[in-house]
Chain A
Amino acid sequence: MKILTAVSDRDLLAGIEKYLTLAGYDVVGAFDGVQAATRLAEEKIDLSIVEEDLPRMPRGGVFPDEMPVAVLTKNKNTSGGETKYLSFPFSPAELSSAVSMMINDMTGGRGNE
């Protein structure tokens, strides 16, 4: 399972990458929209974790419609809609849970295959 993490804060990017790697995922990072687009073009990404208002995001977005995307946001009220939101500050357990839920949605409950 390959996860693209696209956040502008380098420390946050490194933290998420290390944490998810330790959790057993294959993680690639991007710190802006252009780099995220490059990663998506070069590698087969299964799901993405992207910061809301990521800088240098190409017009029209970079994520395919069918790709599950978790949006990291500073807003509190993010319920509703199909997009999975994770509000800052989130705990490692919340991140883990969000990723697991997305994988379950993708695989129909068969987990990380």
Chain B
Amino acid sequence: MNKVRRKFVVLATVAVFVVLTALLTVINGINFTMVAEDADRVTEMISSGAGRFPNVNMPERGGFREPGKMGPDSPETAHSARYFTVKISQNGEAETVALNISAFTEEEAKDIAVSLMNEKRGWTNGIYRYRVYKEGGDTFVTVVDQGRELLPSYRILVISIIGEIICIALCLAFLIVMSKKIFKPIEEADRRQREFLAEAENEFKIPLTVIGLNTEVIEKTVGQSDETLSINRQVKKLISLTKKIPTLGITGTQDTVCDLTDVARDTINEYAQKFNERNIKLSCSVADGVTAKGNKEEYRAALGEILENSLKFAKTSATFTLSLTGDRTLIESTNDADLPDGSCDRVFDRFTRLENSSGVDGVGLGLSGVKDFARGMNGRVSASVEGGVFKLRVAL
């Protein structure tokens, strides 16, 4: 599975997970809140009866109760509720008012009530809802067992979690299968574009060589003219463009790990002679053992473009630095190009040439390739001029 497709599948699955989790959290949250509210309604009824259920209107025997009278409002609540109420007098004496529960003895109920007497209401031991209230100077603690009411809510919660896991697994499987179909035309278009670039690059090569050779032959036999000079300039430009075509395809693939230190040193060695020929002092600092995920040839092309840029525009000196800062790999390049101070990120725009590029070979594609490469590697590029020094920074 290629990088973009994998990213799409992961992002779509994460999106489904987030939406489902949010939805199920809200549904289960409301469900548990309603159970707590029902329990509070029961403890409220008990508190209104001074610790016991007040007299309730019993339905006629043999008849069904009214539809809709469910939960705490049901006349059966007084009979089905499992609870106890303990009265704690001002002098701290505990007395059981009601013990309609089989889980606790009177003494245990009193101990629980004393431990809760400074609270107001809430849950204790997971399934017991309590309410603390005052009446006639005494403190009443009512504890209701809500286990039976909570059980369906817990079942819904478990079913929700299992359902969500199954749903995400199905979604992931569906996306893996479907993404192949969705991305097929995109991958095909990408492949065709790469093929076209490679073919275009190759098909331009021989004609340009022939034009260059024939122009040289004309100059040597007939003599140099404005026209032959112009042809030579344009041929140089086209050759430069042709050489840049492969960098248009630089996308920053992260599948392999390469030794960036080695690549940087090789590229510097490749350019050192060219800097010497132009009498430009190139100072380099390459940290040992820098590795990075990505394609070696793409790194080589990107570093080559950075050095090529310095070679073209430096007046007397240039620097190149490869370093590690935290988990980031930094590539910095400076040169004393004649440019006004300020940000000049537009050097990364395709076919853009700055004011100092007059008379310098090039078509304005080199650094745009570096930007595309850095972006493909989730990195950043920036360019600025400070004190007349052009500074290029690539953080990967």
Interface residues of A (CB under 8 A from B): 9, 11-12, 15-16, 18-19, 22, 74, 76-77, 88-92, 95
Contact = CB atoms under 8 A, between A and B. Distances in A.
B202 A74 contact: yes
B239 A89 contact: yes
Contacts of B236: 91
By Cβ-Cβ distance, the 10 closest A-B pairs, closest first, are A15-B213, A88-B205, A89-B208, A92-B216, A89-B209, A89-B205, A18-B217, A11-B210, A15-B210, A22-B220
Interface in B56-108: none
Contacts of A12: 206, 209-210, 213
Contact of A22 (B205, B217, B242): B217
A89 B202 contact: no
B206 A9 contact: yes
Nearest to A9: B206
B221 interface: yes
B204 interface: yes
Nearest to B201: A74
Q: Which residue, of A12, A89, A92, has the highest number of chain B Cβ atoms within 10 A?
A: A89
A89 B242 CA distance: 8
A9 B206 CA distance: 8
A92 B210 CA distance: 9
B213 A18 contact: yes
Contacts of A16: 213
A74 B242 CA distance: 11
Nearest to B238: A89
A76 B206 contact: no
Contacts of B224: none
Contact of B239 (A9, A11, A91): A91
B214 A15 contact: yes
A95 B214 CA distance: 13
A12 B209 CA distance: 7
Interface in B183-227: 202, 204-206, 208-210, 212-214, 216-217, 220-221
Given A18-B214, A19-B213, A77-B297, 15 more contacts: A11-B210, A12-B206, A15-B209, A15-B213, A19-B216, A19-B217, A74-B202, A74-B205, A76-B243, A88-B202, A88-B205, A88-B208, A89-B242, A92-B216, A95-B213
